[in-house]
Structure 1
Amino acid sequence: MTWLVPMPILLALFGAGVTLILGRRPNAQRAVSVTVLALIVAVAAVLAYRADRVGTQVARIAGWPAPQGISLVADRLSTLLLLVSSVICLLVLLFSLGQEEEQRRRETPISIFHPTFLVLTAGVSNAFLTGDLFNLYVGFEMLLFASFVLLTLGGTGERIRAGTTYVVVSLVSSLLFLVALAAVYAATGTVNMAQAGARLATLPVEVQQVIHFLLITVFGIKAAVFPLSAWLPDSYPTAPAPVTAVFAGLLTKVGVYAMIRTQTVLFPDNALQVPMLVIGILTMVIGILGAIAQGEIKRMLSFTLVSHIGYMVFGIALDSDAGLSGAIFYTAHHILVQTALFLVAGLIERRGGSTSLNELGGLASASPVLGALFLVPALNLAGVPPLSGFIGKVGLLRAGLGAHDWLAGVGVGAVLLTSLLTLFAVAKIWNRAFWQAMPLVENEDGKLVEAGLPLQPSMAAVAGALIAVSLALTVFGGPLFGFTDRAAHDARSGAYAAAVLPEGVR
């Protein structure tokens, strides 16, 4: 059933073309988008099941064998992230459909939004499945194109400025990626990741380190690790709520996934372990300190996003099956929880009329449902037991302590400190937006009234469904950790290269 492997990419691109043709038939566009994304979820679930039960599935495009042709690889790691990302894309799309017609036209114009959103989905799927560095570059460029369009929807000056910043940073990282690709090809004669990994190991250490540094820098920009993360808090908060949510949940995780492949396939000896540990620690601590200093919910969540990327980098840098398993588990958890929080932030903005903590208050009494929708993922993000955030952090802590290294020990301390400060940050939002008195604004008749609009039931239901999916990670935390243990072992054992390359080809 290797023919299923390219289907998430093909379905998304096919859906993008159809919705573009149906630009003047909004109901048909919505139906096509939802159907396509539902099919992608189903395909991703089948691929994840088969990757775990049968083994890695490899599709060779146009029948060309590796390394001459492009291979799409569905192993445990790629299919888990593909499944989580496709669920996110489907639920975020459903959330966007809950907006009133006037708001939808302003925030997510249908003729533009649906085709671009499906191209974004195709780019994410391609990045997770590709076994070829140049095809990974193509996936990133698809994300760049779609991201700029989605960031600037509505055409406001604030969004154009944010989109320009994002594009400039992305173009710089793309240029560096091309330089790194040229270096890999010049040194190894291939851009197939499995074959390049085998050949890079035979090169002088200095050459390996230069190429390794280039790739980690590129993917560090994509993942928004410190000190390459300054662009993110200025870019994400200005976009419409559905766009911000899917960006926060997915785009940085594509960079994290690429870092995992770099560390396990291209450079399994992990020559940059110490710098990676330092980067992970600094990203955790500095990111969360930035979050605490903010007075606007979306910016606070953007800084927590940066901070928690540090957890994943820390797990990768531990250079162990346990560390990588914890990083994979935490990545899946964070995609769901961070997306849920940004969707809830959109509901807060709708109900309270703003996301500034100085202009909010009384939401707990005005909308108890909204309070519950915020509180559950917020506590999960902070790692409160027994939620999945706690399970993922325990896995990382055990891996850090098991490393028996002083720098890993510092990382363990950073994990604990960041968890406490994350709890402080979300408590700050809760106290000021939900518990303090609700401010009143003057209407057209000169009367003082509550700001904002009533909570849209369909949008709240979708956010609740996403939170329920994130809670499923708590209920099935044991089996999921078993899955990530097997995914980490596969990634570090050379099983990826053995599945991609024909026997005897190196």
Structure 2
Amino acid sequence: MAGSSVSADLSAAMITSPVATGDWLVVAPSLITILGGSLCLMLRKNTDLQPKAGIGFLVLLVIANLALLVRVLDHGVITMVMGNWLPPFGIAFTVDALGATLSLIGSVVALCAGIYGVASVDNTGRRYGFYPFLLLLMTGVCGAFLTGDIFNLYVWFEVLLISSYGLLVLGNDRIQLDGAVKYGVLNLIGTNLFLIATGLLYGIFGTLNMADLAMKVKLLEDPASGTLATVAALYFLAFAMKAAAFPVNFWLPASYHTPNVVVSAVFAGLLTKVGVYALIRVFLLILPESRNYMSDLIAGVAIATLLTGAIGALAQSEIRRLLGYVVIAGIGSMLAGVAVGTTLAVSGAIFYAVHSIIVMTALYMASGVINLMGGSYDLRKLGGLYQKNAAFAAVFLVLAFAVSGLPPFSGFWPKVMLVDASLDDGRTFLGAAILLSGFLTTLAMGRVWIYAFWRGGPEGTPDGQAVEITPGGAAQLSGGALWLPLGILTALVVYFGLQPEWMMELATRGASGIAEPLGYLRSVFGGQV
């Protein structure tokens, strides 16, 4: 009996054309960080070689992310699907301007942290995994920014959380374990809410690909139906926890001051921004109607977060606790952009996220230098540091102006965009809250500069008394491992303040891609959209 062959048209289920060479950049950040973390783990007993290997892989990560951003800007949104299976059958990495920009800025911050860690992390910290955990953290961060599948967004959250737990307890001090418990409990609750919402979403649509969901949600007769409203509420609560928004933000100032200061710097720069990114991606790309009817709630949370953070910062005398509240205030500004939801507002939120990643990392690193120079993080025990190092005093003042949103530094422009968007949308109270929070943050940061740098000595000492530098602190201050990353980040703060056009263009392109996702959808499904 003659055999017969049946040919199947797989074009609707598979990508049959070969993957372009440049598109492999999509998975390069994950591969680099996994391989780098593995190598550093194998070198854990060689505490001299491990930092060199870790920094080398972080340099490669920056190069890969820069090349990826350039390719996205040249060719538009890029998608790579596992096994060539198109969604909903396959898992996709989908990279647009928003994801590529945040991934690049995150890798720059991680590189600076790796360099700073040469001076701030001792041999014990290296043996117990600082560089492997840092690289694993970046695996999760970059994966979250680059994934096109909401379940894999959950997976990358888990990867970064696991590594953050390791970094948080590095040193095994009692205060670190206490901070880790507070950090872990709230984040585990948020993770479970995230997973529950994702399960409900899959039950409704039978897919978790973001592009597929964006199309199927639009086909619903009632996009604000009860079940979908529940999903949206769960996602908002989960991401609000991870972003440290009011009223679920108390874990951040209770934990970020406990680990090594370079770990605090990485956490302050990156972790909460992944939560904000998830809010933007889910509520503006997948559930825009849910964002519309929740906009007043989000605006209220944004106002409360702005004011809670700024007022909390004013009440602190420990610099790292103070900076923790400043992180929270910045989250409120980004939530304001989500609440308004226009292209200008979302552009402002993206620009502010980039600014906050850079400036908060730099401020925590600067607080480490203050501790080395003055022997304490407590403002009551500090003073006279301007006399010790006037250049560092100027750097800290630049960072203080920037985080307060004062010109001519990076924080000024996104605040202008957010206030303008709020007023255009008729949300006067939201715009006023952004301005008031900036004013209160200026007072809090000015208090740090006056107490630590300007006055002559600590409380209870004659004015003008010098603060002695401990021998160990002096030795560390003489190296470039502290000053180089702080200089790079400060230079970026100044550059984005004086030349904001490039960052504004990137932010606008990222926001436009979310508001009008046709390019995103076509990247995933080709000509079928």
Partner of 2:4: none
In the TM superposition, residue 386 of structure 1 has moved relative to its aligned partner by 1.7
Alignment of 1:16-27 (within 5 A): 16-27=37-48
Alignment of 1:287-366 (within 5 A): 287-366=309-388
In the TM superposition, residue 165 of structure 1 has moved relative to its aligned partner by 1.2
Deviates more, 1:198-207 or 1:474-483: 198-207
SS across alignment from 2:171: coil
Query: Which among 224, 237, 240 is matched to residue 260 of structure 2?
Result: 240
Matched letter for residue 486 of structure 2? A
Alpha-carbon distance in 2 for matches of 1:35, 1:211: 42
Partner of 1:372: 394
Alpha-carbon distance in 2 for matches of 1:309, 1:81: 15
Partner of 2:250: 230
In the TM superposition, residue 373 of structure 1 has moved relative to its aligned partner by 2.4
Partner of 2:74: 53
User: Does the Cα contact within 8 Å between 1:249 and 1:336 map onto a contact in 2?
Assistant: yes
In the TM superposition, residue 158 of structure 1 has moved relative to its aligned partner by 0.3
Query: Which among 479, 485, 490 is matched to residue 462 of structure 1?
Result: 485
> Could you report, residue by residue, the CA deviation over 1:74-125 in whole angstroms, capped at 9, with x for unpaired residues?
11000000010000000110011124xxx6135x334411111110010001
Matched letter for residue 211 of structure 2? A
Mind listing any 5+ residue stretches in structure 1 that lack a counterpart? 443-447
Partner of 1:218: 238
Matched letter for residue 116 of structure 1? F
Matched letter for residue 500 of structure 1? V
Matched letter for residue 432 of structure 1? Y
Alpha-carbon distance in 2 for matches of 1:382, 1:439: 25
Partner of 1:251: 271
Matched letter for residue 461 of structure 1? L
In the TM superposition, residue 399 of structure 1 has moved relative to its aligned partner by 1.1
Partner of 1:76: 97
Alpha-carbon distance in 2 for matches of 1:221, 1:440: 37
In the TM superposition, residue 197 of structure 1 has moved relative to its aligned partner by 2.5
Alignment of 1:374-413 (within 5 A): 374-403=396-425, 405=426, 408-413=427-432
Query: Which among 486, 498, 501 is matched to residue 525 of structure 2?
Result: 501
Partner of 1:35: 56
User: Does the Cα contact within 8 Å between 2:33 and 2:139 map onto a contact in 1?
Assistant: yes
Matched letter for residue 230 of structure 2? V
TM-score, normalised with respect to structure 2? 0.90
Alpha-carbon distance in 1 for matches of 2:328, 2:168: 19
SS across alignment from 1:392: helix
Alpha-carbon distance in 1 for matches of 2:467, 2:316: 27
In the TM superposition, residue 372 of structure 1 has moved relative to its aligned partner by 1.9
**Displaced runs of 4 or more, over 6 A:** none
Deviates more, 1:274-283 or 1:21-30: 21-30
Deviates more, 1:369-378 or 1:342-351: 369-378
User: Does the Cα contact within 8 Å between 1:473 and 1:480 map onto a contact in 2?
Assistant: yes
Higher Cα Rg: structure 1 or 2? 2
SS across alignment from 1:72: strand
> Could you report, residue by residue, the CA deviation over 1:244-266 in whole angstroms, capped at 9, with x for unpaired residues?
00000000000000000012211
Alpha-carbon distance in 1 for matches of 2:272, 2:509: 23
User: Does the Cα contact within 8 Å between 1:225 and 1:280 map onto a contact in 2?
Assistant: yes
Partner of 2:19: none
Query: Which among 415, 439, 451 is matched to residue 434 of structure 2?
Result: 415
SS across alignment from 1:73: strand
Alpha-carbon distance in 2 for matches of 1:237, 1:75: 34
In the TM superposition, residue 33 of structure 1 has moved relative to its aligned partner by 1.1
Partner of 1:473: 496
Alpha-carbon distance in 2 for matches of 1:501, 1:209: 27
Matched letter for residue 31 of structure 2? L
SS across alignment from 1:154: coil
Partner of 1:445: none
User: Does the Cα contact within 8 Å between 2:380 and 2:459 map onto a contact in 1?
Assistant: no
Query: Which among 182, 189, 195 is matched to residue 206 of structure 2?
Result: 189
In the TM superposition, residue 343 of structure 1 has moved relative to its aligned partner by 0.4
Alpha-carbon distance in 2 for matches of 1:327, 1:456: 38
Alpha-carbon distance in 2 for matches of 1:468, 1:131: 33
User: Does the Cα contact within 8 Å between 1:290 and 1:303 map onto a contact in 2?
Assistant: yes
1:267 aligns with 2:287: yes
1:91 aligns with 2:115: no
> Could you report, residue by residue, the CA deviation over 1:374-398 in whole angstroms, capped at 9, with x for unpaired residues?
1111111111112111111111111
Partner of 2:18: none
Root-mean-square deviation (Å):
1.8
Partner of 1:153: 170
User: Does the Cα contact within 8 Å between 1:440 and 1:450 map onto a contact in 2?
Assistant: no
Mind listing any 5+ residue stretches in structure 2 that lack a counterpart? 1-21
> Could you report, residue by residue, the CA deviation over 1:367-424 in whole angstroms, capped at 9, with x for unpaired residues?
2232122111111111111211111111111111211x2xx11111011111111110
Q: CA 1:439/1:291 → structure 2, altered by over 3 Å: closer, same or farther?
A: closer
Alpha-carbon distance in 2 for matches of 1:262, 1:226: 19
Alpha-carbon distance in 2 for matches of 1:441, 1:420: 29
Percentage of pairs with the same residue: 35
User: Does the Cα contact within 8 Å between 1:89 and 1:246 map onto a contact in 2?
Assistant: yes
> Could you report, residue by residue, the CA deviation over 1:139-186 in whole angstroms, capped at 9, with x for unpaired residues?
111111111110011100000110111111111111111111110111
Alpha-carbon distance in 2 for matches of 1:385, 1:28: 42
> Could you report, residue by residue, the CA deviation over 1:445-501 in whole angstroms, capped at 9, with x for unpaired residues?
xxx972542224311232112111222212330122122112111111023233223
Count of residue correspondences: 493
In the TM superposition, residue 441 of structure 1 has moved relative to its aligned partner by 11
Q: CA 1:359/1:178 → structure 2, altered by over 3 Å: closer, same or farther?
A: same
User: Does the Cα contact within 8 Å between 1:441 and 1:449 map onto a contact in 2?
Assistant: no
Alpha-carbon distance in 1 for matches of 2:316, 2:62: 36
In the TM superposition, residue 223 of structure 1 has moved relative to its aligned partner by 0.5
Alpha-carbon distance in 2 for matches of 1:418, 1:86: 29
Matched letter for residue 324 of structure 1? V
Alpha-carbon distance in 2 for matches of 1:296, 1:23: 33
Deviates more, 1:364-373 or 1:127-136: 364-373
1:199 aligns with 2:223: no
Alpha-carbon distance in 2 for matches of 1:215, 1:12: 28
Alpha-carbon distance in 1 for matches of 2:57, 2:294: 41
Alpha-carbon distance in 1 for matches of 2:325, 2:459: 29
SS across alignment from 1:216: helix
Query: Which among 135, 141, 145 is matched to residue 118 of structure 1?
Result: 135
Alpha-carbon distance in 2 for matches of 1:27, 1:124: 27
> Could you report, residue by residue, the CA deviation over 1:270-303 in whole angstroms, capped at 9, with x for unpaired residues?
2311111111111101111111011111111100
User: Does the Cα contact within 8 Å between 1:236 and 1:302 map onto a contact in 2?
Assistant: yes
Alignment of 1:275-294 (within 5 A): 275-294=297-316
